[in-house]
Amino acid sequence: MSAPSCTDDPASPRQKRWTPRVRTGCYTCRTRRLKCDEGQPTCKRCRIRGLRCDYPLQPQHRPQGRLSLTALQPPEWAFAEALRYYLTVTLQPKSGGPPKAVTPEEHMKQYRPDMHISRQESIPSFVMMVIHTHIADICRANNLRSEPGNWPAINHLWRMFFDYMAKAIHYLNQSIAAGFPPRYNLYRIVDLLSIEAHCKGFLALVEAYGGVDTVIKSASNPSPILALQFVFIHGLICNTAGPVEDQLSEFDNFKEADILRIYSNMYFRILPCPSILFMAIVQITRLRVLAATLGASSPELLSAAQLIADTVHDFVPERWTESYELPDDPKIYTFARVFRATVMLYALLALPANLARPFRRAEAATGRDSRLHHRDVLVAGVARASAVRMGLAGMCWPLAVLGVALYDGALEEQDRVLAWLKEMELLETASSGPVMLRKLLPVFWESGKCGWEDCYYQLFQIAA
């Protein structure tokens, strides 16, 4: 702190020790001790040098008499604490991992430059996501659901989290208004989608930028395709868990070839579904919507249902191949069997009876009940997947489908699904899916109903 001048009022309050020497300007200029013209969202010096320009986050003004923790801290405090937590906790080996601590440099070397979704270029987004991780870690360690108000001891963290979410949204709007590159803005939306899955703004921006092909070609390092994959997977699976009149219809503007191109870019651990089966999921969902508008007896829809069913029937899990190299995972073909059975069940449960008929082909010939057959296959597959560490990481959507298929299941079978979901909540990769399903499924089972939309009566995010 600079010494007071002779003109200072001796009665004036002393500056707090944490007050920075330079109080205004972006972080980039301040760390270089340069005069900043404070142009937003990018100052002139950063714009000329092609540098990232981040502004400090000012504490929000609170009503008198209600001082929050944030209001008593310097602008940089939350970022410094988030960075400390990320380096000392998030990057440390988890239980069962290697004993050697991984440095940030070593951590980043594990990923291709264009694939690591946690690359942070926005301080508000970074702080928001670290606070969310901190909350999830606390809830996981104390066997609590990660919900606001569930434990008063961490209510202050939830307040900070929502505060920084608002700042991240404000920063995103500034970036879009300033004409930042498509790749940058799309990843900032992904930062928010990783916390709250609302896809419409993202999809509208993709269309505004000229479509999937234009967006993919707009940058190479990092490529926007991982952001596209993240949103398309979560959004399209979200559409499966919702009624036909409540869909993210913006996905209808994208051709199946574009969706396949995005999905088949790389293996996605939270949904280890073969590309051919993922496209069948998309097609079944679209078939549900068309049946509600055109009528389930339409010859075109009957033909489409037959083609989808033939594709799923002909898929052999042990022969699963992709355009990318599949990971060396002992359960990789178990995942393929799980998703084949899950797609069959989704069609049987969610489609009108006449459109679901082609999916009963194999079992109908032997007099077996198709739903019970695929339900048993799915239960056996999830049980095998759960036997290995992180095996349940990609089982959230299969369990969502299995839950509906167990509308007449034994209490022991239903409890087993809830136990798997509870185990999933303890995984590092878990999101809101297991928590949501543990609420929805017991209510559905107790209702005595059996329809798909009796369980998923509105859009629910159950991808992970």
DSSP string, 128-178: HHHHHHHHHHHHHHTT----TTS-GGGHHHHHHHHHHHHHHHHHHHHHHHT
**pLDDT tens digit at each of 464 positions of the chain:** 444 444 445 555 554 444 445 556 777 787 777 788 877 667 888 777 767 677 654 433 333 344 344 444 455 677 778 777 777 777 665 555 444 555 555 544 544 444 344 445 678 888 888 888 888 788 777 777 677 777 788 888 888 887 877 788 778 778 888 888 887 878 777 777 665 555 777 888 888 888 999 989 988 777 888 889 988 998 999 999 989 998 988 899 899 999 999 999 988 888 999 999 999 999 999 999 999 988 889 999 999 999 999 999 999 999 999 999 998 877 899 999 999 999 999 999 999 999 999 998 766 666 789 999 999 999 999 999 998 878 898 999 999 999 999 999 999 999 999 999 999 888 877 677 888 899 999 999 999 999 999 999 988 888 76
Q: Measured on CA atoms in the order 397, 233, 141, 110, is the torsion positive or negative?
A: positive
Residue showing tokens 């670290």: 130
**Measured CA distances, 337 to 381, 400, 462 (Å):** 7, 16, 20
pTM: 0.67
Cα 402 to Cα 386: distance, rounded to the nearest angstrom = 15
Question: Among 164, 241, 206, which Cα is nearest to 432's?
Answer: 241
For 153, residues 6+ apart whose C-beta sits below 8 A from its C-beta are none
What is residue 59's predicted lDDT score, i.e. its pLDDT?
Answer: 39
What is residue 289's predicted lDDT score, i.e. its pLDDT?
Answer: 94
Question: Among 406, 427, 431, which Cα is nearest to 416's?
Answer: 406
**Is 331:381 a contact under the CB 8 Å cutoff?**
no
What is residue 103's predicted lDDT score, i.e. its pLDDT?
Answer: 55
Following CA atoms 394, 396, 397, 398 in sequence, which dihedral angle do they give, to the nearest 10 degrees?
80
3-state secondary structure at position 179:
coil
What does the block give as tokens for 94?
């988890």
Q: Is 256 exposed, middle or buried (0-12, 13-18, 19+ CB in 10 A)?
A: exposed
What is residue 400's predicted lDDT score, i.e. its pLDDT?
Answer: 96
Helix axes 299-314, 332-350, angle to 10 degrees: 160
**Is 420:392 a contact under the CB 8 Å cutoff?**
yes
Q: How many other C-beta atoms are found inside a 10 Å radius of the C-beta of residue 394?
A: 24
Question: Among 281, 417, 270, 442, which Cα is nearest to 347's?
Answer: 281
**Within 13 Å and on the Cβ side, how many CA atoms surround 261?**
13
Cα 36 to Cα 302: distance, rounded to the nearest angstrom = 65
For 304, residues 6+ apart whose C-beta sits below 8 A from its C-beta are 283, 287
Element (H, E) at 123: helix 123-141
**Is 397:346 a contact under the CB 8 Å cutoff?**
no
What is residue 76's predicted lDDT score, i.e. its pLDDT?
Answer: 66
Question: Where do runs of H (alpha helix) occur along 241-360?
Answer: 256-263, 275-294, 299-314, 332-350, 353-356
**Is 145:425 a contact under the CB 8 Å cutoff?**
yes
What is residue 66's predicted lDDT score, i.e. its pLDDT?
Answer: 41
3-state class percentages of the chain: helix first, strand second, coil last, to nearest 5: 60, 0, 40
Cα 138 to Cα 153: distance, rounded to the nearest angstrom = 10
